[in-house]
């Protein structure tokens, strides 16, 4: 009884809600019509949407973003990739070079450095799948290389390949590049002068469970001569062993010399030799281990970790081959492999770590860019701006017309707003609006069933009762304004629908009428070749 009572109360108070319903109907009609309008012209802003990220990233207008996007599409063609990829690269470069990443002429023929930044970023972010942050760190660290940024990356890839050839089974290129990007500027400045030395040291330190920073920390500690000599003598007293090589030369002095001369690989090799020679003592003598950690400028836990990692390397096939690889060995390998002759294009063609889906997306991006360039030819910015202005202008005009129609109501003497709406909007765009799916209900039936475009009327059609089943968007115009109906709604109306009581009547009569209307609608659908097969003929008669 509670539901029936609530429904009865709502219906009996309908008269009190008339003003609110009229306002709601007007607003609903305007929202519906504008929504259909926007859906119809949704694709006219394709250029604007394509370059919206540039607009947001660089703070540009629609026209400026289109112009910059056109330049980036041109750069993409030169680089052999798609425009979306170039936009991602340039957006990332903004974190490194600021607004210069969005300047006009970036990467053009005269801007060799700009193109170098883009090409190197592409190799790091696409071919080696490194993050944008790592790519920017790499560029920042090596942009001043004498041979140029692209060639520097090519050289490091070649060095990595030579290491892999010298130590079969090793695949280190992406890891090496990432580690090289993480170096501090002072470390690169000190140890990057000798090709191959720093790369070897970075990989060897990684295999020992440390990094280049720890190698340099050890070197700094050993260069504190007075302190480090005292620490070394203390270690000799605790262990009974001297830190010398097979020829009796001091290992700590060799480490100091490598630190001063910038031979990073020699530092890594010396560290490995100290661990090899003193490993058994360090594993069994706690006091010696604590003293050695002080001498090497690290905590005891790091030293213990290095000892364990070295044991693993001994058991791995070719593990010790890597640790014993010298700079001279690497140079000889490079000289005989022909790698040095490769340029970055050749290296990238042979070294692509992307998945199949990533490569396919890249192909699609490239095709899309080519299609847009062929379709628009030039003038992206102006075309994007013109499309925006036209759309906003038409929407503004439509909004005023729809608002006027809602205020004026609809009848024989008040059709000017509706007529103007049809003339200014629908007539002008013609067939472009076909398929919106909007029907104007008059007397409970669409005025024009075959054409879903709204049909303008000049007067109401009177009837006591009407019914309309679901199907297509519907817009009902009345004295209260415009009312949009859900596509799936069943609409009924009439003065005598519920016993001539003007919309009130018995709730159960209303429920029965709704059921009857649903049954009637189902009978109509039953004859439909698609829907009819799923309906029960015996139930609906």
Q: What is the pLDDT of residues 344-361, one digit of tens each?
A: 666 666 677 788 888 888
- Angle ∠(22,23,24) on CA atoms, nearest 5: 90
CA 480, distance to chain mean position in Å, is: 47
The continuous run of DSSP H or E covering 441 comes out as strand 438-442
pTM: 0.65
Cα(11)–Cα(16) distance, integer angstroms: 10
User: Tokens 């698609």 sit at which residue?
Assistant: 530
211 confidence band (pLDDT: 50, 70, 90):
very high
Q: What does pLDDT average to over the chain?
A: 74
Instruction: Tell me the per-residue pLDDT of 504-533, one tens digit each, with 9 for 90 and over.
Output: 444 445 445 555 555 555 555 555 554 444
The whole-number pLDDT of residue 221 equals 96
pLDDT at site 534: 44
Gap between the Cα atoms of 155 and 176, Å rounded: 12
DSSP-based three-state secondary structure for 125: helix
Strand partners, 468: 491
Domain-wise residue ranges, the chain = 2-42+384-540, 130-352
Report whether pLDDT(88) > 60.
yes
Dihedral of CA 384/388/391/394: which sign?
negative
Average pLDDT over residues 228-251: 94
d(CA 461, CA 406): 19
Find out whether 56 and 62 touch, Cβ atoms under 8 Å: no
Q: What's the average model confidence in pLDDT over 244-260?
A: 95
Coil, strand or helix at 446: strand
444 pLDDT higher than 50 = no
| Rounded CA separation 37/40 (Å) | 5
Report how far Cα 20 is from the mean position of its chain's Cα atoms.
45
pLDDT of residue 20: 53
Which residues face 250 on adjacent strands? 244
Helix (H, G, I), strand (E, B) or coil at 97: helix
**pLDDT (tens digit per residue) in 25-44:** 555 655 666 666 666 666 66
**Residue 540: pLDDT above 50?**
no
Tokens for 101?
């990443």
Taking each helix axis from N to C end, the angle separating 300-315 and 264-284, rounded to the nearest 10 degrees, works out to 100
Residue 96 clears pLDDT 70, i.e. is over it? yes
Residue 292 has pLDDT above 80, yes or no: yes
Rounded to an integer, what distance in angstroms lies between the CA atom of residue 154 and that of residue 265?
20
Q: What is the pLDDT of residues 458-516, one digit of tens each?
A: 333 444 444 455 544 455 545 455 555 665 665 555 555 444 444 444 444 544 555 55
């Amino acid at each position: 009884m509670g539901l029936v009572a609530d429904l009865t109360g709502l219906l009996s108070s309908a008269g009190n809600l008339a003003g609110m319903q009229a306002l709601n109907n007007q607003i609903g009609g305007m929202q519906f019509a504008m929504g259909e309008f926007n859906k119809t012209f949704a694709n006219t802003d394709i250029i604007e949407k394509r370059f919206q990220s540039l607009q947001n990233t660089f703070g540009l207008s629609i026209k400026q973003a289109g112009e910059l996007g056109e330049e980036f599409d041109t750069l993409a063609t030169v680089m052999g990739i798609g425009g979306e990829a170039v936009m991602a690269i340039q957006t990332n470069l903004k974190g490194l070079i600021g607004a210069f990443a969005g300047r006009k002429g970036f990467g053009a023929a005269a801007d060799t450095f700009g193109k170098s930044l883009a090409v190197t970023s592409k190799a790091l972010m696409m071919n080696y799948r490194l993050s944008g942050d790592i790519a920017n760190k790499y560029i920042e660290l090596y942009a001043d290389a004498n041979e140029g940024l692209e060639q520097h990356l090519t050289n490091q890839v070649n060095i990595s390949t030579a290491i892999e050839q010298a130590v079969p089974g090793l695949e280190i290129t992406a890891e090496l590049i990432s580690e090289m990007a993480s170096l501090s500027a002072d470390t690169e400045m000190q140890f990057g002068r000798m090709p191959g030395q720093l790369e070897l040291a970075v990989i060897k330190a990684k295999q020992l469970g440390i990094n280049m920073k720890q190698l340099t920390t050890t070197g700094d500690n050993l260069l504190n001569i007075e302190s480090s000599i005292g620490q070394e003598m203390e270690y000799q007293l605790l262990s009974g062993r001297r830190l010398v090589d097979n020829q009796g030369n001091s290992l700590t002095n060799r480490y100091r010399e490598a630190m001063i001369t910038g031979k990073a690989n020699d530092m890594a090799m010396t560290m490995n030799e100290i661990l090899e020679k003193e490993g058994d003592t360090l594993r069994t003598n706690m006091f010696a281990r604590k003293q050695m950690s002080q001498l090497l400028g690290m905590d005891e836990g790091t030293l213990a970790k290095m000892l364990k990692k070295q044991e693993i390397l001994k058991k791995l096939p070719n593990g010790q081959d890597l640790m014993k690889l010298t700079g001279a060995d690497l140079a000889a390998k490079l000289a005989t492999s022909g790698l040095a002759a490769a340029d970055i294009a050749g290296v990238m063609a042979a070294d692509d770590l992307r998945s199949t889906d990533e490569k396919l997306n890249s192909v699609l991006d490239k095709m899309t860019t080519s299609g847009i360039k062929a379709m628009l030819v030039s003038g992206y910015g102006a075309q994007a701006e013109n499309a925006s202005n036209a759309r906003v202008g038409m929407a503004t005009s439509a909004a005023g017309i729809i608002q006027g129609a809602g205020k004026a109501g609809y009848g024989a003497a008040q059709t000017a707003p509706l007529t103007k709406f049809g003339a200014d909007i629908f007539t002008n765009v013609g067939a472009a609006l076909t398929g919106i799916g909007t029907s104007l209900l008059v007397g409970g039936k669409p005025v024009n069933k075959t054409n879903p475009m709204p049909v303008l009327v000049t007067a109401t059609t009177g009837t006591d009762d009407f019914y309309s089943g679901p199907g297509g968007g519907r817009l009902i115009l009345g004295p209260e304004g415009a009312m949009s109906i859900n596509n799936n709604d069943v609409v009924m109306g009439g003065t005598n629908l519920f016993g001539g009581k003007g919309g009130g009547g018995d709730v159960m009569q209303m429920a029965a009428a709704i059921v009857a209307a649903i049954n009637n609608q189902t009978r109509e659908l039953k004859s439909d070749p698609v829907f009819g097969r799923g309906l029960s003929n015996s139930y609906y008669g």
